[in-house]
Structure 1
Amino acid sequence: MNGDHTPAYLTALAFLAAAVVFVPIAKRLGLGAVLGYLIAGVLLGPSLIGITREPEEIVEFAELGVVFLLFLIGLELNPHRLWAMRRDIFGLGLLQVVLCAGLIMTYPLLIGENWHTAVVAGLGLALSSTALVMQLIEERGSMRLPYGQKSFAILLMQDLAIVPLLLIVALLAPGESMDGDDVAFSIVTALAAVGGVVVIGHYLLSPMFRVLARFGGTEIMTAATLLVVLASATAMMAVGLSMAMGAFLAGVMLAESNYRHELEADIEPFRGLLLGLFFLAVGMTIDLGLIWDHWPTIVGGLITMIIFKSLMIYGLVRLFGGDHATATKTGLLLSQGGEFGFVLYTAAERRGLISADNASLLIAVVTISMVTTPFLIRFLAPRLIPKKPAPTMTENYDDADGDILIIGFGRFGQLVSQMFLAGGYRPIILDNDAERVTEARRFGSRVYYGEGARLDVLRSVGAHRCRLIAVCTSPADHTNAIVGLIKEQFPGVKVFARAFDRRHALTLLGTGVDYQRRETIDSAIRFGRDALVELGLEPSLASETEELVRKRDSERLDFQRLEGLVEGHRKWAQVTPEPFTNLAPGDDGDAPALPDPNKKEAAE
């Protein structure tokens, strides 16, 4: 890069090292990978270490990560689903851009800026970061949740608004003018480009990939995918729209293609690396000296933007049918400025609409706001959204009669109850989920509502009279609490308990339960046995293998009970059997060959 003296390979090495250090820390703290990249960028940027002096060039290149991200999102949205979102895109999205811009521009006016500067500031800060928001949504798996859908619809409208916003900047610029024909031509050109991408994508892309899949190779499919994404992105950029919009449209057109999953696999590695580089480069653009010199103005603008945008988006989402939780999450998620602000403010400065100092301050506000969003989602959102109180119900235990008590009526407890009923017993069943209890009663099961970790409830259902109590609850801590209470208060009652894993099984054995069973061991071993039979092993040998694995697992558990989990595992390393070595006398240790379908056909 021009003006940089650090060799390119050392720059890449520094980027990778910083990401490896800071991203896991941020994720461990529940703040997401984005904040880790941003912090790493601040550290490497010109304000501190100065690994490069021109981070803007890295941002321009790394924006391809955003392009690939939108392409992958488009692959998940077929045209029918996109059409179903039209009300949120053109209604909610358009109102958000217009009203947020009008509200935010009041701050520059109040601190003495002219109305031109106020309009430009409001328009730029009304937009949000597609890259940041979509990455946060993806990390949380929230794309199909209501707030993910609302946020995505608004971001799509913001991308479509880029051309009109650039036209507004051109119209406001001093000494320049655009007549109606120029404005109309720009809009028509943009619409024609969108239409062209849609038509080409609909009629040509699937046949093209069909031919390449037949006559090309894996590397050709990858090259073709990159070509489609970059070509559609370039077409949109040429008419003033965002590159991400073009990639998204190409993805939507291929959403119903037979090659969708292969295309996802081809693009995913590029998307991950470049998107991480983009956030790292954004962090590098933060000028700590500028922030220190103008911190009152920057902090005031930052707080104003976050509050105004969050409140306005909250109100609009509620107006469009969203509940409190959806509106709150959407408002906080879109509260930051967007990467398009860099473009808008640079264009405004170049046309003499705002000063260079104001452009730098606005870009600083946008960049810092990206850092605040993970904190708002992580810490503020849970406090603004009250937890829904768990449904409760009153219960009468007068008719609770039986000598077996089952605590927990989830998927595990339901199967246990079937065994007791089939064996001629009528157990007392207790569960602390009111909805589950109600549902069970609808299907004829007599399940009592109550918390198994409460002594008064256990006494009310007659735990002291029971011959056996089956604790079928989860998670492990809850099960431990119930088992501990039962062993303390009803020491004469046998306790059978559901274990989550090996560690939990050892804990339960330490409390003195009469029996424990890991919840997945039987299904996993039986699964493996049936798979061996399908692969060609004789059923009798598969059964012997099953018994061998069960025996060794039981011996290992007993050993670990005496020696401890870690020490027992170390001393019992030889427990893991070699494949097919001890199946039956005379066995040579080789896995049986899979049946040859060709020979079978010949025999037939």
Structure 2
Amino acid sequence: MTELLLYTSAYFFFAVTAVLLCQKFGLGSVLGYLLAGICIGPVFGIVGKEAESIQHIAEFGVVMMLFLVGLELAPQMLWQMRHKLLGLGGLQVLLTLGVVAGIAMTLGYRWQIAVVVGCVLALSSTAIVLQTFSEKQLLGTAGGQAGFAVLLFQDVAAIPMLALLPLLAVGKAAEVETHGAGNLMANQAGWVVALVSVAAIVLILLLVRYVVPLVLRLIVKSKLHEIFMIFTLALVVGIAALMSLVGLSPALGAFIAGVALANSSYRHEMESHLHPFKSLFLGLFFITVGASMNFKLLGQQFFVIVGMTLGLLAVKALVLWCLGKLFRLPSLGGQLFALSLAQAGEFGFVLLSIANQHRLLPVELHDSVSLVVALSMVLTPLLFIFYDKVLSARAIRQENEERPHDTVDSENPVILLGYGQFGHQINNILISCGFHTTVIDNHAEVVDGLTKYGIKTYYGDATRHELLNTVGLHKAKLLIVCVGDDKQSRDIVKYARHNYPHLTIIARAHDSLHAYDLHYAGADYIVRETADAAQHAGCIVMHQLGLPQEQVIELSQFYEARERYQLDTLAELHNPEISIFANEELLNKAREIDMETKAMMQAIMRGDKVEWEENPNSWVKLKKGIS
């Protein structure tokens, strides 16, 4: 018992540490679990052979993962995406599998071994790629959408691969793992195996289609949430056990059941109950994979393994780039598509585990391919950095060179930089009131679209000083900075204040820290983008709590004045060189103002007259007395 607790604590301690570190450096949780396994296995030797027995338990996480994947794949959605799925996704898997298998056969391996290696390396890392797409907001781009379609097809394609691998096992090699392992079909004739397999799948579909919804309905009526969780776990375990008994992949059965339940009204509830267990077992699975990696082989054949990894990245990137050209992806989208999916993925470890059970690969080749899969995943963040810093930056430079800044031929009193949602609202108000504005944005599509719509807009990069000097700032009255990037907006404000001191500068701030920076840079008025919405919501809440409308308006106006006063006062104390929480003077002043505001607003609610001293240097003049 003590030994088990020690092993368990070691697994969890290293998992938490490694995953947090990898997340911090943008490497993803999968690599964190692999790193944890490498630490407790090859590096520190905390676990040894027992990792293999633990892996059999941890493989249940794969079963749960595929059940959840099935729940997400409603047949209607698959049908709507059939062209991208079968076109891009199907060709990517088949071509990559074919090229890798061809290379393996050229090196002298049997076709069965070549196909296994091709299947393992044809798939990409859904976890890493989708997480990075989300973080970098690339999912809406052409390359991101194409990548998502391919990843979705790969998730589906992994299922027939799981079913295919046992069929590739030949001779007694397959019997070694199945004998005595609970497989009732081990010594049966082929037609019997086929008949029983079909019957098992049909039974699962019938149960999931007709019986499971009835049981779930009864459980929901009982309002016993823990019973719902227990039944969901029992369903997945039971399906896995049935598939194992007839010699089929448990993961295949779980996937089929998930797809059958994809349109169920209980789908989301099942997902919420299974997700923690899936994460736990799947994390444990990747830890055991890392613990069983042969790093001795990496040391002995370092250049060979690294060469294989770079070769894999090159082959997959080339195949993906060609497909991007074939399906007419834009140049930058095709480059993102090729680089983002060039690695192998977590499903590769699952397939390697199945291949190892059936003795499909020589031990050294199995260990080499495992290292290649892991190293290719480790290198993926570098590929995204290359895309961001080199390919994307070069494309932006080329776009700027191809389309020079527009010549601003009007001198309006208001110049607005950046036409996002914030700038759009401001410009609409001004135009509606009959004021003339000069709008500048650095997105060519936005500029062309607005011009076509009838709103005169100029193309240009507001961070370039030569542009700012030509847009009429010397005659303008107001400069409105709505640029999305915090650093860029601060630099623009700083330059404009230094060179055009007569200007009144209004700038958008994302939060208080950004507001302090803009104030320090010289902005006259600073608007926090969520402040007005929050204040409006607060007014609704106060009115719903029974306060008269007139008092709500009075309190809201007073609170807005105090907020601006606080922002202006604290901006004077802000030091960009230290954290806001390390600035004791600022924190003490903030607490003091908060307490004053609370006392004053409660006085207003009692009907008392409230007077207070404003900051004499305030950039927003406030009423001294509100009663």
The structure-2 alpha-carbon separation of the partners of 1:342 and 1:294, relative to structure 1 and needing over 3 Å to count, comes to farther
Give the SS at the match of 2:352: helix
The answer to whether the aligner puts 1:471 opposite 2:471 as a matched pair is no
Q: Is the 8 A contact 2:125 2:346 kept in 1?
A: no
Counterparts of residues 187-226 of structure 1 (less than 5 Å): 187-226=194-233
Residues 189-588 of structure 1 aligned to structure 2 (within 5 Å): 189-293=196-300, 308=315, 311=318, 323-334=334-345, 337-348=348-359, 358-359=362-363, 361-381=364-384, 383=386, 386-387=391-392, 389-390=395-396, 391=399, 393-394=403-404, 396-397=406-407, 399-564=409-574, 565=580, 566-567=583-584, 568-573=586-591, 575-576=593-594, 584-585=605-606
| Separation in structure 2 between the aligned mates of residue 384 and residue 558 of structure 1, nearest angstrom | 41
What's 1:32 paired with? 28
SS state of the match for residue 460, structure 1? coil
Does residue 122 (structure 1) correspond to residue 114 (structure 2)? The answer is yes
What whole-Å deviation, never above 9, does each CA across 1:311-338 have from its counterpart, x for those lacking one?
A: 5566567667774543443343459843
Cα distance, 1:43 vs structure 2: 0.8
For residues 232 and 63 of structure 1, the distance between their equivalents in structure 2, rounded to whole angstroms, comes to: 14
How many residues matched? Answer: 568
The alignment partner of 1:498 has SS state of strand
Task: Return the letter of the residue paired with 2:538.
Answer: G
Contact 1:336 1:370 in 2 (8 A): no
Work out whether residues 63 and 274 of structure 1, in 8 Å CA contact, stay in contact via their aligned partners in 2.
yes
Which residue number corresponds to residue 162 of structure 1?
162
What per-residue deviation string (whole Å, max 9, x for no partner) do you get for residues 222-262 of structure 1?
Answer: 11111222223333334444333322322222222222222
Give secondary structure in 2 for the equivalent of 1:332: coil
Distance 1:225 1:85 in 2: 29
CA distance in 2, matches of 1:127, 1:203: 35
Q: How far did 1:482 drift?
A: 1.3
Kept in 2, the 8 Å contact 1:345–1:362? The answer is no
Contact 1:305 1:335 (C-alpha < 8 Å) held by counterparts = no
SS at match of 1:170: coil
Shift of 1:503: 1.0
Determine the C-alpha separation between the residues in 2 that align with 1:51 and 1:335.
22
| Deviations 1:535-570 (CA, angstroms, capped at 9, x unpaired) | 444434433443453244233323322332433124
Does residue 69 of structure 2 align to residue 73 of structure 1?
yes
- Structure 1 distance, partners of 2:433, 2:91, is 65
- Which piece of structure 1 moves more, 80-89 or 338-347? 80-89
Q: Is the 8 A contact 1:97 1:158 kept in 2?
A: no
Local SS of the residue matching 1:425: coil
The whole-number CA distance in structure 2 between the counterparts of 1:10 and 1:413 is: 58
**Structure 2 unaligned residues grouped into runs of 5+:** 177-184, 575-579, 609-627
Give me the whole-angstrom Cα distance separating, in 2, the residues matched to 1:90 and 1:419: 48
In the TM superposition, residue 303 of structure 1 has moved relative to its aligned partner by 5.5
Change (3 A) 1:168 1:401: same
Cα displacement string for residues 430-476 of structure 1 (whole angstroms, at most 9, x for unaligned residues): 22221111111222111122222333323333210111211122211
Q: Is the 8 A contact 1:35 1:374 kept in 2?
A: yes
Question: Residues of 2 paired with 1:95 and 1:433: CA distance?
Answer: 34
Q: Return the letter of the residue paired with 1:136.
A: I
CA distance in 2, matches of 1:394, 1:301: 45
Task: Verify the 8 A CA contact 2:124 2:344 in the aligned structure 1.
Answer: no
- Which amino acid is the alignment partner of residue 455 of structure 1? H
Task: Give the alignment of 1:105-184 within 5 angstroms.
Answer: 115=109, 118-128=110-120, 133-140=125-132, 141=134, 145-170=145-170, 182-183=189-190
Task: Please report the RMSD computed on the Cα atoms of aligned residues, expressed in angstroms.
Answer: 3.7
Aligned-pair CA distance for 1:486: 1.2
- Structure 1 distance, partners of 2:552, 2:120, is 59
% same residue: 28
**Amino acid corresponding to residue 235 of structure 1 in structure 2:** L
User: In structure 2, what is the Cα distance between the partners aligned to 1:69 and 1:123?
Assistant: 24
- Indicate the larger mover: 515-524 or 97-106: 97-106
Cα distance, 1:508 vs structure 2? 1.5
| Partner secondary structure for residue 428 of structure 1 | strand
**Would the aligned equivalents of 1:198 and 1:253 in 2 still touch at CA under 8 Å?**
yes
Paired residues of 1:92 and 1:154 also in contact (CA < 8 A): no
Q: Measure, in 1, the Cα distance between the counterparts of 2:202 and 2:324.
A: 29
Structure 2 contact 309–376 (Cα < 8 Å) conserved: no
Does 443-452 or 337-346 show the bigger shift?
A: 337-346
Q: 1:86 to 1:240 in 2, by over 3 A?
A: farther
* Alpha-carbon spacing, 1:224–1:540, altered in 2? closer, same or farther (3 Å): farther
User: Given residue 372 of structure 1, which amino acid in structure 2 is its aligned partner?
Assistant: L
Aligned to 1:43: 39
Q: Deviations over 1:95-124 (max 9, x none)?
A: 76776566445666666x6x5xx3343232
Work out whether residues 66 and 131 of structure 1, in 8 Å CA contact, stay in contact via their aligned partners in 2. no
SS across alignment from 2:59:
helix
- Which residue is 1:602 aligned to? none
Deviation of 1:214 (Å): 0.6
Residue identity in the other structure for 1:378:
P
Change (3 A) 1:575 1:72: farther
